[in-house]
C-alpha cells in the first residue's frame, strides 16, 4: 500500500491476526496485530510484541528497533488488506498511551495525501467525533474505506 | 508459533493475503483483551461516530 517500506506478514485463517518480524539493532522481534470486534462492522486494531517465553503479547517495552516507519507501513498495509476483504469494516485505533496515539497521528499526517483518497478517517477530540484534520491532535481514530476505492 | 504450510487467500482480483494456518487467534491473550475492553469502554462513553450509521451500523 502507498509504496511504503514494510515487512512481509502472515494472517491467521480467520484473517483477524497478523504476524511479522521486526528486524534491527536489537535483533528480531515478533510482532502480532489483532482485529477484535467492538460492534457490528467495527473492529479494534491492536498490536504488540509476542514473547515466545511466556506465550503472551505486550507493549510494555518500547522495542526501539530503529524501524518504526517500517512497522507503521506494515500496520497500514495490514489495515488496507483487511478492509479489502471486510470492506464494510470500520477500524478503531487508540494508542495505549498519549505518546503512542500521537505517533499514530504523526504517521497518518505523514501519509495523509495517500490515505485521504482511500480511507475516511474520523478523529475523537474532547469526546466528540469529527472528520480528521492534520492540525488537530486526537484521542483516537476510526477509519474505513471509501466506496470508490474498494477493490472490485 | 513456528511457520508451517502457508495457504493463500484471493477474492476476485483482490490482493493476496498469506495465511499461516499455525497462527493462533490469541483469543484469550490478556494484552489484546485489555485493549479491546478499553476500546469498548471508551466507545460506550462517547458512542460511535454518526458518520458510521450511514454505512456500517
Spatial contact of A19 and B35, defined as CB atoms under 8 Å apart: no
| CA distance to partner chain A, nearest, from residue B49 (Å) | 6
Cα(A118)–Cα(A146) distance, rounded to whole angstroms? 6
CA distances to A22, A116, A118 from A134, rounded to whole Å, are: 28, 11, 16
Which domain range does residue A29 map to?
10-149
Structure-model confidence comparison of residues B33 and B1, the more confident one? B33
User: How much is the pTM?
Assistant: 0.88
Angle at A125 between CA A121 and CA A128, to 5 degrees: 85
Q: How is residue B14 annotated by DSSP?
A: P
Q: Does A128 touch chain B (CB under 8 A)?
A: yes
Contact list in A for residue B50 (CB cut-off 8 A) is: 129
Query: With an 8 Å Cβ cutoff, are A12 and B11 in contact?
Result: no
Q: Is residue A142 part of a domain?
A: yes
The residue of chain B nearest to residue A36, with distances taken between CA atoms, is: B36
Three-class secondary structure of residue A35 per DSSP: strand
Strand partners, A90: A42, A144
Cα(A42)–Cα(A143) distance, rounded to whole angstroms? 10
Taking only the tens place, the pLDDT of each residue in B3-18 is 454 555 655 565 578 9
Taking only the tens place, the pLDDT of each residue in A139-148 is 999 999 997 5
How many structural domains comprise chain A? 1
- DSSP H helices, chain A, are 68-85, 98-110, 112-115
Q: Is residue A5 part of a domain?
A: no
Strand partners, A17: A34
Closest CB from A16, A84, A89 relative to B14: A84
Q: How many CB pairs under 8 A join A and B?
A: 131
pLDDT surpassing 80 at residue A101: yes
Q: Is residue A4 part of a domain?
A: no
pLDDT of residue B36: 94
Q: Is residue A1 part of a domain?
A: no
Query: With an 8 Å Cβ cutoff, are B57 and A50 in contact?
Result: no
Cell numbers describing residue A100: 503512542
Query: With an 8 Å Cβ cutoff, are B46 and A32 in contact?
Result: no
Query: With an 8 Å Cβ cutoff, are B3 and A10 in contact?
Result: yes
Q: What is the largest CA-CA distance in chain B?
A: 44
Residue B42: count of CB within 10 angstroms of its CB: 18
Amino acid at each position: 500500500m502507498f509504496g511504503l517500506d514494510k515487512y512481509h506478514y502472515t494472517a491467521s485463517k480467520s484473517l483477524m491476526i497478523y504476524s511479522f518480524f521486526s528486524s534491527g539493532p536489537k535483533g528480531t522481534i515478533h510482532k502480532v496485530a489483532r482485529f477484535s470486534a467492538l460492534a457490528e462492522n467495527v473492529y479494534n486494531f491492536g498490536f504488540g510484541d509476542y514473547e515466545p517465553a511466556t506465550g503472551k503479547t505486550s507493549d510494555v517495552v518500547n522495542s526501539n528497533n530503529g524501524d518504526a516507519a517500517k512497522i507503521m507501513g506494515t500496520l497500514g498495509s495490514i489495515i488496507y488488506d483487511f478492509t479489502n476483504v471486510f470492506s464494510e469494516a470500520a477500524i478503531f485505533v487508540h494508542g495505549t498511551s498519549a505518546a503512542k496515539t500521537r505517533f499514530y497521528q504523526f504517521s497518518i499526517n505523514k501519509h495523509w495525501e495517500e490515505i485521504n483518497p482511500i480511507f475516511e478517517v474520523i478523529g475523537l477530540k474532547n469526546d466528540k467525533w469529527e472528520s480528521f484534520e492534520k492540525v488537530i491532535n486526537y484521542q483516537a481514530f476510526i477509519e474505513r474505506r471509501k466506496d470508490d476505492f474498494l477493490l472490485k | 508459533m513456528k511457520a508451517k504450510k502457508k495457504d493463500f487467500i484471493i477474492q476476485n482480483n483482490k490482493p493476496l493475503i498469506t495465511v499461516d494456518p499455525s497462527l493462533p487467534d490469541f483469543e484469550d491473550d490478556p494484552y489484546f483483551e485489555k485493549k479491546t475492553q478499553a476500546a469498548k469502554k471508551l466507545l460506550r462513553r462517547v458512542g460511535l461516530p454518526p458518520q458510521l450509521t450511514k454505512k456500517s451500523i
